[in-house]
Amino acid sequence: MPSPRSFERYLPPLRCRLVVNPIAGHGASVRRLSSICHELKALGVAYDVAMTEEPGHATYQARRAVEEGYGVVVAVGGDGTCNEVLNGVMELEPEARPVMGVLPVGRGNDFAHGIGVPAELKAACRLLAQGTRRRIDVGHVAGGAFPGGCYFGNGVGIGFDAVAGFVAMKVRILRGFAAYTLAALATNFVYFRAPVLRIETEGGTIEQACLLVSVMNGRRIGGGFLTAPSGQPDDGLLDLCITRKVSRMRVFTLIPAFMRGTQARSAAVTTGRSRRVVVTAVEGGIPAHADGETLCTEGDRLVIEVRPAQIDVLTRPSVAP
């Protein structure tokens, strides 16, 4: 298995296409665009801007950027924008794929966190100028609204995680981690029919009533819940966090553990790693998302796999060996 940063390379920056989602972060991408442009000009980064107009448009813009000769495609938005750009990049042949960058202005920014992009925008802009690249794995999930499959960079959430994400999207008074935390608390009162799932991995099969199942390429969800605290996006494996059905009061004690990344100490939680995960609903349906984008609300089967060493991303330089 490749070790973390084993694919890291230092190369000159290329011409960048910024793919901007104008509704990301409740409009934060547009409000901050002028300061982003000012910073990139000061750093000497060659770039231009393409705005998205509808769901799925970032995928098209990523492909179009390559056709127009751009070597770097930068998602300016949150996890949804990153997911669309990632899917556009992955539709290309491996040798044609551009480098992917992220300027995080969304709610959770979990993909950016997982690949080592800082939350502070000036620091994230500097990565575009520095040109440090890391080759990472990409996940693939088939099922629900995507029977032919789609790609994800951060993770797939099933059960409580997915429903809390659906609720968080409706929260307007808060952003990011605060919105997801509020949604998790609200979900605890409405999501109590945990489905019975059969989860097949390389390490064996579990069949039980599940509160949540997280299958991660990154480290966290919801802007701060560490479902895979030791996860690495370049180790060729997906990290699993499976929580069996527990009482509502027990959920309240587990939420802080997920914030700290210490949930594996609980007897209700099973963790593991696998290259392939198949989740089948035995009783009830599967609500699920990939990188925050809805896969299904009542699905019956998901097949989740890792595709090792698929794309280069711009990231922080590591400590010199």
CA distance 165 to 170: 9
Stretch (H or E) spanning 154: none
CATH 3.40.50.10330 domain position(s) in the chain: 9-136+310-314
Give the contacts of 42 (CB within 8 A, at least 6 positions apart): none
- Unique residue bearing structure tokens 């922080």: 316
Q: Which of the following CATH numbers is that of domain 141-309: 1.10.10.10, 3.30.70.1170, 2.60.200.40, 1.20.1250.20?
A: 2.60.200.40
Q: Token pair for residue 4? A: 């973390």
Q: Please report, as a single letter, which amino acid is at residue 98.
A: P
Q: What are phi and psi of 262, to 5 degrees?
A: -110, 15
Superfamily of domain 9-136+310-314 in the CATH hierarchy: Probable inorganic polyphosphate/atp-NAD kinase; domain 1 (3.40.50.10330)
- Give the model's pLDDT for residue 167: 57
- Give the model's pLDDT for residue 321: 28
Q: What is the pLDDT along the chain (321 residues), one digit of tens a residue?
A: 444 444 455 454 578 999 999 888 777 788 889 999 999 999 999 999 999 999 899 999 999 999 999 999 999 999 999 999 999 999 999 999 999 999 999 888 999 999 999 999 999 999 999 999 999 999 999 999 899 999 999 999 998 877 766 655 555 555 556 666 665 666 666 665 789 999 999 999 999 999 999 999 999 988 888 999 999 999 999 999 999 999 888 888 898 999 999 999 999 999 999 999 999 999 999 999 999 898 998 899 999 999 999 999 999 887 332
Q: What is the pTM of this model?
A: 0.88
CATH 2.60.200.40 domain position(s) in the chain: 141-309
What is the number of other CB atoms lying within 10 angstroms of the CB of residue 305?
17
- Give the model's pLDDT for residue 6: 42
CA distance 295 to 83: 13
Stretch (H or E) spanning 42: helix 33-43
- Give the model's pLDDT for residue 161: 76
The rounded Cα 275 to chain-centroid distance in angstroms is 17
- Unique residue bearing structure tokens 């210490």: 262
- CA 291 → CA 43, 178, 205, 303, distances in Å? 30, 18, 25, 16
- Give the model's pLDDT for residue 5: 46
What is the number of other CB atoms lying within 10 angstroms of the CB of residue 69?
10
